[in-house]
Amino acid sequence: MANHLDLEEQEQLDQLKHLWNTWGTLISSVLLVVTVALVGWNGYQYWQNRQASQAAALYDAVDVAARAGDQGRMAQAFGDLKAKYAGTTQAGQAGLALAKTLVEAGNEDGAKEVLTWVASQSGDEGLKALARLRLASVLMDQKNYDEALKQLSSGVPLEFEAAAADRRGDIYLSQDKRTEAVAEYSKAYKLLEDSVEYRRLVEVKLGALGVSPQSVAVAEAASAEGVKKP
C-alpha cells in the first residue's frame, strides 16, 4: 500500500516537474508583472493622497489669507500650488479665490493673469469653465469685447452653456448690439430650467430689452413641435 502511494506521489511530482519545466518561466514572469503592477498602483495611490493632502494644506493657507485680506500671502500660497500641485483641484480653487480678491481690490490685470492660468491649466473642467466665465467678465469691463467673446466661444461644458450664453448677452449689450444680446439671453433662458433662480435674472434682462420671456417659451415650444412633425 505504501509503495502504491509512493508511486502516485512520484507521478504527481514528475507531472509538476514537467509542468514547471514547460511553463515555469512564463508563470514567474506573469507573477512578477502582477507584483510590480500592484506595487506601482499602491505607490501611485499613496502619491496621489500625499499630493492631495499637501495641496489641501496650501489651499487652507489661501483661504485664511483671503479672510484676512492678505493678498501677498494668498499670492504666495497660490504660487506654491501652481509650482508643485498644478493639476489638483485645490490649485484651481485657489486661483479663483485669488482672482476674486484681486478684482475687488481693482487689480483687474492681476485677476486676468490668474484666471487665464486656471482656464488653461486647471485639471478640473468645471473650474476651467468658471475661470473662462469670470475672465470674460474682466475682459468685458476692460472693453476687450472680442477677447471676452473668444473665451466663451468654445471649450465650455454643456452644464455651463446657459451661463456662457448669458455672459455673451452681457458682452453684446455692452457693445449696444441689442439683437445679438436678445438672442443670447433667449438661449440662456431656454437652457435654464424653470426652477432655477438664475432664470429669473435672465427674465429681467430680457424684459429690460422689451422681450417677453413668455414669447421665448412659446417660440421654444413651437420649435420643439416642429421638430417632432415628420
Grid cell locating 84: 508643485
Choice among 63-77, 155-169, 180-194 with the minimum mean pLDDT: 63-77
Interatomic CA distance for residues 64 and 59, integer angstroms? 9
What is the average per-residue pLDDT within 122-141?
93
Give the chain's end-to-end CA distance (angstroms, integer): 87
In a domain, 187, yes or no: yes
Domain count, the chain: 2
Q: What confidence score (pLDDT) does residue 11 get? A: 65
CATH number for position 76:
1.25.40.10
Handedness of CA 87, 108, 200, 212 (dihedral sign): negative
Domain C-terminal end among 102, 135, 156: 156
Distance CA 22, CA 221 (A): 72
In a domain, 117, yes or no: yes
Quick one: pLDDT band at residue 33, thresholds 50, 70, 90?
low
Specify whether 145 is located in the same domain as 165. no
pLDDT at residue 59 tops 80: no
Mean pLDDT lowest for which of 66-75, 93-102, 200-209? 66-75
Residues 85 and 55 sit within 8 Å (Cβ to Cβ): yes
Confidence of residue 52 (pLDDT cuts 50, 70, 90): low
User: Residue 108: which domain range?
Assistant: 55-156
Cα distance between residue 172 and residue 150, in whole Å: 13
Q: What is the pLDDT of residue 139?
A: 97
Tell me the per-residue pLDDT of 213-228, one tens digit each, with 9 for 90 and over.
777 655 555 555 554 5
Q: Could you give the CA distance from residue 135 to residue 129 in angstroms, rounded to a whole number?
A: 10
Amino acid (1-letter code) at residue 42: N
- Together in a domain, 109 and 183: no
Rounded to two decimals, the pTM is 0.70
Residue 127 grid coordinates: 473650474
Q: Are residues 73 and 144 in the same domain?
A: yes
Q: Are residues 184 and 104 in the same domain?
A: no
Query: Is residue 115 domain-shared with residue 170, that is, in the same domain?
Result: no
* Same domain? 92 vs 142: yes
